Structure 1
Amino acid sequence: MSSQAVLRAMRAEDMPRIEEIVCRTWGYDVSMSARNAALLGKIDAYECLSRRTYMRVADVDGEVAGLIVAADRRRPHIDRRMQLMQLGAVCGLLTSREGRQGLGMFRQYMAADKELSRDAESQGRRYDGELVLFIVDGQYRGYGLGRMLFDDAMRYFHDQGIDDFFLYTDTGCDFGFYGHRGMTRRCARSVSFPIGDRIRTEEMYIYDDTVSHQISDHGEDSR
């Protein structure tokens, strides 16, 4: 890649591009109409960003190529404006059968996340940090942007005194990256939901690790 990638704070004008990346990465655009897929992408993006305490986007020639969103769970933050925008998108989905199916799918994802958290807690796991959203747009993969974003989040956690952290992921994502980073797949759940005339099933996971382990294994990149 001849262009230089820059990590920077999110800007308001980035939101349409972030919604687009979320929509395409999670496959909403191939599961339903363009209108409903875009609304579901908004709902997903707003839910994640509403809980952020830290966020960086990877900018390549003025285009958002990826992003990472982190949360300090010791000091929870809620962005009410994002929640209101999410509510508006929810209302838009309620107007059609397909939209209601998509909303049901999203709610099942959220319910599975809560079940995974309970599973982790039953194993005595407690986390101060969460990687809420971590995406690199498909056309920019293979150029090290994921490593740059992930290492940046590790530096944030380290600076905040956070060691134990986790993330949710599923078989629709490149979860092999987390194994490559030496993270532990802590828990797994299966979720199924109707999309159109078929049933879609995915495995959902919690991966966890410590920031100190990431820094010791990946050296200066994570400091």
Structure 2
Amino acid sequence: MAATDATNRIPTTATARPAVIYRDMTRTDIDAVVREFDDTWGNWSSAAGTPASIELSRHFVLHYLEPATHATIAECDGRFMGVLISRIAGMPVMFPEAGGALAETDQRLETDPHGADALRETRQWHDLETELERECHVNEMTQAEIELFLVSGAARGHGVGGSLWRDAMNRFTELGVERYYLHTDSSCDVSFYEHKGLDRLIAWHAAEHPQYGDDMDDIFIYAGAPSARRTSVPQPSSKQAHERESQTSGRNAKGETR
């Protein structure tokens, strides 16, 4: 038997990077989305640094899931990498139980002093967004909304943000959506949306409304048309679609990009 020179071993193939899998979101994913939301935006409210912070993040996630008609999860080796939650007018909701879970979450927040204050601030934010929608008539000119677009910091270099975005645009196109919109704010890189061809419909500048406090961000609504060009993005319907290329990832929400 010939001797083996261990010092000259050369691997025949490079170590493969774990694949990112895209699939439909399920109820069991909610906790992971809540944790990532809290890690990303948990420091913005008056509940920051308190046990109420995670409950407030749960409020936001359930608030976005309540009207949602579809949500795609990205994961790698079982680890959460990103989510895009969307709503198409007239389609059945994906999580009919989200409204009840949201009410229970709000009840828990209201029993905590920090949580109650943060919930009041959050409802004020929701009301302001609704008012801006009315002012620009966005629901009259669109058929869909991106409710939440959240990419984990661990996903950098995997192209998760770009793939989730293209998947949503493909789905909108397949289902006849001509225009969609999202909410975002000045704490996020809104150039991502401008690069994707969205137009700013309305802007609310915090400096003009001091009654909302010094920590309030500027708020925007963007709208656009999904590309008709089909892409090779992995489709959640395959349940085992893999991502190979590296693209710029986004770290944005709601279209709430806090």
- What is the TM-score when the length of structure 2 is the normalising length? 0.75
Whose relative contact order is higher, 1 or 2, with alpha carbons under 8 Å and at least 6 apart? 2
Task: Report the counterpart of residue 220 of structure 1 in structure 2.
Answer: 231
Give unpaired runs (5+ residues) of structure 1: none
Give unpaired runs (5+ residues) of structure 2: 1-15, 236-258
Query: Are 1:115 and 2:126 matched, yes or no?
Result: no
Q: Secondary structure at the match of 1:68?
A: strand
| Counterpart contact for 1:93–1:100, Cα < 8 Å | yes
Deviations for 1:144-178, whole angstroms, at most 9, x for unmatched residues?
11110010011111111111100111123332211
CA distance in 2, matches of 1:8, 1:190: 37
Alignment of 1:43-192 (within 5 A): 43-75=59-91, 77=93, 79-121=95-137, 126-190=141-205
Q: Determine which structure has the larger strand proportion and give its number.
A: 1
Task: Report the counterpart of residue 53 of structure 2 in structure 1.
Answer: 37
Aligned residues: 216
CA distance in 1, matches of 2:204, 2:101: 30
CA distance in 2, matches of 1:36, 1:161: 41
- What is the TM-score when the length of structure 1 is the normalising length? 0.86
Deviations for 1:189-208, whole angstroms, at most 9, x for unmatched residues?
1457999xx74110111111
Deviations for 1:14-67, whole angstroms, at most 9, x for unmatched residues?
111111112222234775234111100111001111111111011111111100
Q: Determine which structure has the larger helix proportion and give its number.
A: 1
| Counterpart contact for 2:50–2:114, Cα < 8 Å | no
Percent identity among equivalent residues? 24
What is the CA distance between 1:125 and its match in structure 2? Answer: 5.6
Aligned AA for 2:28? E
User: What do you get for the CA RMSD once the two structures are aligned?
Assistant: 2.7
CA distance in 2, matches of 1:81, 1:185: 33
Compare 51-60 and 19-28 and name the one that shifted more: 19-28
